[in-house]
Structure 1
């Protein structure tokens, strides 16, 4: 073959590859929470609404009423962004109103005014400003309207009298909590931060927060469906910080009768203040420090100190969830800056629970989080609102009380699956997997770092296709999970723009027909199924594979007569037994698609619908119809056109060379 024809042949193969290439890349999602435990000087205590002896007598049986007040910064946003924020805030507030009950608030809430200085005096356990009140009072960074404020409590240093200025304000009636909503571009709006929140005022009788703020970072607002779902999850998370799930409120938690779980000082009726933590210090009835003396790491056995919420309902829920009867409580995060450590559940233990310190995949508000809200002494929870939380479920004490290094090591010794962890490195061809519940296509988040990780975060002696000298640079992509690698949802992106997520349950994650190489379908009746190998795209004698394979989202249905059926490009294929490889093929305008899908056990899928599965047996031989490879697509015509141009150029060059040499 002449040189120019060899060149054309290579060009032909390259054209086939380039035109079949999916130009999207994936991004493992991680959005850290930017909540910080509210500093003592940022909180106003002793909001006087009703006497404690009256409040304590009330049952916790009234739905939580949250009053929304929108800051002027919201109105500076584009109209569609304003709509997104207000609709999503209402959704989040509605969720918590339907989930939490409180003692009825029998009078309007009038918030306290800010003192001109930090100097205060106490009388009858009420605080009075030594230098009078400021002209402006804020909640976080949001100015509180004057009509929401009571008169100033102040001490006159000349005559030693304690005074309260009269006010004509009505306060906010028929509510239990005031939420100030803003969209402020502050220093806390880091690149990956979506929003932040906190409480700012607590009532006098039982210390319950009665006012807080929620600020969304303007750069994070997006009209994309995937981003809106994440925004809703973030709002629920941040509002819960303001309602009570934060380290700065642990010392104020109470028992069912309304009695403090942490001792109080007689003069101020406040707990002991911890100067190092810069917050009121809780007792070990709320958070306890536990020592794990047998924490195994590659470098040996160490003692690991962990903080755990040990309140009664939380302890009962975590023991039940993890199937660990000796578990002391729920472990709190030990990494991150102020507001991440201690104020969230430990990411390694709780992964996609909504109150961990970073959003990585579809978050779930679990019974454990609802239990801690009950254990504040301020709320009763509607547990039917809890999501289906599966991370770590029934994995036992070894999972929740030992390092992921020891878990992986012992599982590998027994030649068992290391779930929920993984050890596949993302190199070369993108090979996806399924999450354990099959709700999403997933990737192992084991990645390479520029430098070796600290020894306590190195979990492997060997990794396939990685030089032993480089193994120390590999770990999970989520630092808050102690770099433990696990299967994680991800997003398909193009030039940093999110195109779609990988959750099978979200219809908007559906794929454009021209790129739907595996015959997938997304929606509530879809689940993730693994592929049995590479898929192939045939076109006029040429063949190519997509740049990723491994798993896909497919609709299914269950029947007591024929068991599990998986739909590929709308065609139903019956699963006769677990491990069976379904051979699927279909034709689109551009390709003949061929590949395999692996059947799970029927019960793994159909138990959810309580469908009784038939007995397994070998599938019968099926004589598949011969499908025709399409040859008239625009893509093909474009390739031929491009080839002809190359051919003309090559022939012209050959003619020129022959004519002038």
Structure 2
């Protein structure tokens, strides 16, 4: 956040953190007010949403290695962190507010793992235009942090997915069929024959494999676009539990009203 070469200081053409050429508009300029709002209000509020709902084993220190990945490597890591690590933390998040091309509001990814493959280090970039302190923007940040915490194609690596052909007759529909997801999806839709929770496979805006399909999770925080209310649902919490690193506080789950039954089961 203190490296002026990585965000817009004026209306000009520059390189984004993903290496793309971006034109900085007036809305993209990272003012001191926006920087303060992101660091001291939006990030803490988004982190709190996870703190209240996902428990993890505490760690005495997280070691941060130099990033060699193209995306993670675009972030500036303080030398003190590389030398000493971060004590008394469950996860280390590096934040940027660089320009983004197209309609992307924010993006994030995991950059470091523990010996048990638990995500420990991640990065997030928020487009300055959307740094406004609104509930929608805070929940968007929480959505991206969830990706860094493991809500990604990690589902496939952890053998939590299946491909079914019984959803609306669609060929090769991907679903998360891990035990807790199936249980919570069954509760949501009042259906005992749920196959799993369908994942988006359209690829639009990077949705494929790492978001619930909008068709049956429109109000869920982790569905693809559009996300009108972004509820922190029990189904999403169950997916995080099935990764094996988190214990959800289901009493804190937010109610998701909408969803189409035929998307998840033939009840």
Q: TM-score range by the shorter chain?
A: 0.7 to 0.9
CA shift in 2, pair 1:291/1:380, >3 Å = same
CA contact (8 A) 1:195 1:234 kept: yes
Are residues 359 and 232 of structure 1, via their aligned partners in 2, closer, same or farther at CA, if it must alter by over 3 Å? farther
Task: From 78, 91, 94, give the equivalent of 1:180.
Answer: 94
Q: Is contact 1:309–1:329 with CA below 8 Å preserved after alignment? A: yes
1:99 aligns with 2:53: yes
| Bigger RCO of structures 1 and 2 (CA < 8 A, at least 6 apart) | 2
**Number of the residue aligned with 2:147:** 241
- 1:338 shift after superposition: 7.3
Contact 1:101 1:381 in 2 (8 A): yes
Q: Which has the larger radius of gyration?
A: 1
Matched position secondary structure for 2:84: coil
Identify which of 68, 71, 76 aligns with 1:143: 76
**Partners of 1:215 and 1:399 in 2: CA distance:** 32
Q: Which deviations, in whole Å up to 9, do the C-alpha atoms of 1:228-252 show, x marking residues without a partner? A: 22111101100000001000x2255
TM-score (norm 2): 0.82
Give deviations 1:499-533, integer Å, cap 9, x for gaps. xxxxxxxxxxxxxxxxxxxxxxxxxxxxxxxxxxx
Show CA shifts across 1:322-359 (max 9, x none): 11211111110121247311110011111111101113
Q: Indicate the SS of the match to 1:318.
A: helix
The secondary structure found in structure 2 opposite 1:180 is strand
Q: Which has the higher strand share?
A: 1
1:220 to 1:372, Cα distance in 2 relative to 1, 3 A: same
**Which residue pairs with 1:72 in the alignment?**
3
* Contact 1:207–1:252, Cα closer than 8 Å, also in 2: no
- The answer as to whether partners of 1:138 and 1:144 remain within 8 angstroms in 2 is no
Q: Give the number of the structure whose residues are more often helix, by fraction.
A: 2
Alpha-carbon spacing, 1:114–1:183, altered in 2? closer, same or farther (3 Å): closer
Q: Distance in 2 between matches of 1:340 and 1:140?
A: 23
Aligned residue runs from structure 1 range 646-657, under 5 A = none
Question: How many residues are paired up?
Answer: 243
Unaligned runs of 5+ in 2: 10-29
The alpha carbon displacement at 1:200 in A equals 0.7
Structure 2 residue 249 is the aligned partner of structure 1 residue 382? yes
TM-score normalised to the size of structure 1? Answer: 0.35
Aligned partner of 2:161 in structure 1 is: 287
For the Cα contact (< 8 Å) 1:371–1:381, is it kept in 2? yes
Q: Residues 335, 102 of structure 1: CA spacing in aligned structure 2 closer, same or farther, 3 A cutoff? A: same
CA contact (8 A) 1:109 1:148 kept: no
Partners of 1:138 and 1:331 lie apart in 2 by 28
Partner of 1:250: 155
Map 1:196-207; keep pairs closer than 5 Å: 196-204=107-115, 206-207=116-117
CA distance in 2, matches of 1:399, 1:318: 11
Question: Whole-Å Cα distance in 2 between the matches of residues 350 and 138 of structure 1?
Answer: 29
1:316 Cα deviation from its structure 2 partner? 0.3
User: Measured at CA, do residues 114 and 198 of structure 1 come closer, stay the same or move farther in structure 2, by a change above 3 Å?
Assistant: closer
